[in-house]
Amino acid sequence: MLISVRVIAVYDLPQQSSLLLMVEPPLVGPVHRVKEERLVTTPTPFNELGKDVYGNPLRRIIASEGLFAFEFRAKVDTAPNTDLDDDAVEHPLQEIPTESMVYTLPSRYCQSDLLARMARREFGQLPSGGRRVRTITDWVRQHVEYQYGTTNAKTSAFDTVTERIGVCRDFAHLVIAFCRGLGIPARYASCYALGLEPPDFHSVAQVYLSGVWHNVDATTEAVRPALIPIAVRRDAADVAMMTLWEMGKLREQAVEVREIAG
């Protein structure tokens, strides 16, 4: 499928600011390939695309005081998103790549240490594998209400598991925390999703089963037709569209994801 992506955003910065921008998917991923892309920003003293410790593209910018705006456009060829197979297998410790071990440990928003006992009590007796992960995502979808504007940048899986309300970010964090609590490597992916209404950035969990990473999306029973990962890391602390150390206000943002007649 050929997907067209467009993002614009405007920020107001009270002083010169360092920021990370994560809107550019890797040029080539397991199921996608970027055909064209263009990032335009207001002039900045520094602007560089590098690679982080997890292998994600990482754009670092120093922006001047005042308005900072950018527009990102891309055309991406991607295979359709597929559902997790019930028979996908969980790996014992010795089969997990050492560089993926970090995805079994707790992180800022996925306190799997605190949720482990609950994960074992709720899901520990189920046969391991894709079916168990699906039971977890079903549990999250059935127990947590999806509602815009109910959570914020402080909300973590430890909150969501009890408060039972949130958005895609919160759903993904809770799935990740449960999976890690069972020893299943799980990570957070921000992505462009086809068919989201209203259009916005999307987030899903990824789990490591049968030797590959699978998207699992607790916000929907159906399978999103296409998901293009922008960045995958431990949780939303590592993968924000924009990370700012200093103050700054988002003034405006629009995301557009469309299928182009193939």
Q: For residue 75, give Cα distances in angstroms to 2, 65, 231, 258, 262.
A: 7, 32, 17, 10, 12
Phi-psi region of 57 (alpha: psi -120 to 50; beta: other; left: phi over 0): beta
Q: Which is nearer to its own copies, 185 or 199 (CB)?
A: 185
Contact flag: residue 50 with its own copies (CB under 8 A)? yes
- Token readout for 202 is 């999307």
Is residue 117 involved in binding its own copies (CB under 8 A)?
yes
> According to CB under 8 A, which residues from 96 to 115 bind its own copies?
98-102, 104-108, 111, 113-115
Positive or negative: CA dihedral 170, 236, 233, 73: positive
Instruction: Please choose, out of 22-30, 56-64, 72-80, 185-193, the segment that lies near its own copies by the rule CB under 8 A.
Output: 56-64
Q: Residues 15, 38, 40, 62: which binds its own copies (CB under 8 A)? A: 62
Segment 159 to 188, residues that bind its own copies, using CB under 8 A: 159, 161-165, 181-183
Determine the Cα–Cα distance for residues 185 and 163; give it in Å rounded to an integer.
Answer: 25
- 240: region left, alpha or beta (phi > 0 left; psi from -120 to 50 alpha): beta
User: Interface mask (CB under 8 A) for its own copies, residues 203-242, using x and -?
Assistant: ----------------------------------xx----
For residues 117 and 251, which CB has a smaller minimum distance to its own copies in the complex?
117
